[in-house]
Structure 1
Amino acid sequence: MVLAVSGCAGTNKPDRMSTGSIPAATRSYDHMNMEQLRQAEESAGKAYERSPKDKSVGMNYASVLMMTGKNTQALAVMQQIAIANPADRDVLAAYGKSQAAAGQLEQALSTIQRAQTPDRPDWRLYSAEGAVLDQLGRSNEARSRYRQALDLKPNDPSVLSNLGMSYVLSSDPRTAETYLQSAIAQPGADSRVRQNLALVVGLQGRFAEAERIAVQELSPQQAQANLTYLRAMLSQQNSWQQLAKKDGKPAG
């Protein structure tokens, strides 16, 4: 659905100030600039035209559409894939994420909960449910779902990152940093986790440290893009209020 607070910033992609699990396809698209994303969208669209009921093709197309900000179209694609695969948990999870991205939060919550099965719970669905609950302002319930996900998948960096960003939405950057520091130390932590950590450090006024974090292990072009994004976020006087507003609490 819903992705981490930032993508690979500075590539002119749509801004998504919310938590959320990061599907593999999105992680690969996250490193593309807008021109590359447009090419990927065209290619994925042609594949979808050839195989409109194919699960992997449709999910891939919906992912790139969301990365280019076409959330309504992504939802329409996932609706068709869900009709063709009504009992597939991966499809239902992706459908729920597309609903959330399109602003249909209550519907997304229902879809994700329907995909979950108590006898074989899926940690990804718990994390996705938590992300929607966070966007609905139900932070305590959201964190409970993230912790259920971590019980099934200990130390998963995407879940730890989501849990950390949940505290950002509640105006608690210190607690958020604890979880994000843990997330970035895990194998498999990607650039979004690092960007979230940089943002949280910057929100606490440690700007030089935030910039060092933002550019680690990146090419010069990516580093400059991330710095541009980070500086833009931190220079917005209302950025903290935007984050806090998600939880209906005053900025602190």
Structure 2
Amino acid sequence: MPNLSIRSFANSLALRSALVPIVLAVGLAACSTTKKSSVGAHGGAAISQGASYSSEQIRQAVQQWGNKYEASPDDRNVALNYAAALRLNDQIDQAVAVLRKAMIKHTKDREVAAAYGKALAAKGQFDEALRVIRSAHTDDRPDWRLLSAEGAILDQIGKNAEARRQYGQALKIVPNEPSVLNNFGLSYALTGDLTQAEKVLRQAAAQPGADSRVRQNLALVLGLQGKFQEAERVALNELEPAQAEANIAYLRGMLSQRNTWNDIKAQDKKKKNRS
């Protein structure tokens, strides 16, 4: 049976944009203290949803890609990057609007469909998100990005076993793809199977293309198991020292509260058995 404390905690932190990272810094003002990646529109640089950006970098990206979008609204790369910047800035409704327009213009573009589906899921429109993803997917030409995106949405609505089947299909196409393994690992975390979550996230973090979100998610799962020293070592590679320490302290407190609650429930159960 899933550990409901862990599932509730994980759900509160993750899955707001189709399994964006469960990051340790949620609620702890991470934007100002994460180790920064570069972001911008100069030379058409793409925005990565898995990198860590400061609030100022995100603001600049929204402005720069917004200007490009105003000049070339039908350019699919511009639309994708502008929508990504908007999502990073929590402007979900606007990101959905941009991608909806891009879908009309690029009806058979699977990358646009995947981005649109994720944005809809971030807005809580899960049925519509699944419809968009599935309509873009064909059995004779499976697309691993669409399979992974569908799995992420299924995880959000509690269909974890079905989600894992989608991740498994995606990994047949791209074995050891870190973004798919990341979602796969988080799926186990959401049902309280932290041992399996750690195993899969370690595999993801070991891949050459693994990004910051994978390592932060691994740090979280380690912390949820009480492996604080290793969790802090992993987190220190992604966050400033003060932020990493604050995150571990936050996890310690959360686990302490969970254990206290479990002790109370155990005592209540003993009393009932005696009566």
Q: TM-score, normalised by structure 2?
A: 0.76
**What is the correspondence of 1:2-21 to structure 2 with a 5 Å cutoff?**
2=18, 3-6=20-23, 10-11=30-31
Determine if the alignment matches structure 1 residue 53 to structure 2 residue 74: yes
Q: Deviations over 1:11-46 (max 9, x none)?
A: 169xxxxxxxxxx62247x33200111011111111
Q: Deviations over 1:152-208 (max 9, x none)?
A: 100111111111100111011111001011111111111110000000000001111
Aligned mate of 2:227, from 192, 206, 213: 206
CA spacing shift, 1:83–1:101, aligned 2, 3 Å: same
1:227 deviation in Å? 4.4
Q: Which runs of 5+ in 2 are unaligned?
A: 1-16, 34-45, 259-275
Q: Which residue of 2 aligns with 1:106?
A: 127
Determine the C-alpha separation between the residues in 2 that align with 1:34 and 1:227.
21
Determine the C-alpha separation between the residues in 1 that align with 2:256 and 2:141.
43
CA spacing shift, 1:102–1:227, aligned 2, 3 Å: farther
Determine if the alignment matches structure 1 residue 129 to structure 2 residue 129: no
Determine the C-alpha separation between the residues in 1 that align with 2:108 and 2:256.
43
Aligned length: 226
Q: Which residue of 2 aligns with 1:81?
A: 102
What is the percent sequence identity of the aligned residues?
A: 46
Look up the equivalent residue of 1:65 and give its one-letter code.
Answer: L
Q: Which residue of 1 aligns with 2:54?
A: 33
Determine the C-alpha separation between the residues in 2 that align with 1:11 and 1:236.
21
Determine the C-alpha separation between the residues in 1 that align with 2:224 and 2:209.
25
Q: Is the 8 A contact 1:26 1:64 kept in 2?
A: no
CA spacing shift, 1:238–1:185, aligned 2, 3 Å: same
Q: TM-score, normalised by structure 1?
A: 0.82
Determine the C-alpha separation between the residues in 2 that align with 1:225 and 1:199.
13
**SS of the residue 2:47 aligns to:** helix
Max Rg structure: 2
Q: Which runs of 5+ in 1 are unaligned?
A: 14-23, 241-252
Determine the C-alpha separation between the residues in 1 that align with 2:245 and 2:167.
29
Aligned mate of 1:162, from 177, 183, 205: 183
Q: Is the 8 A contact 2:224 2:255 kept in 1?
A: no
Q: Is the 8 A contact 1:8 1:31 kept in 2?
A: no
CA spacing shift, 1:64–1:238, aligned 2, 3 Å: farther
Look up the equivalent residue of 1:78 and give its one-letter code.
Answer: L
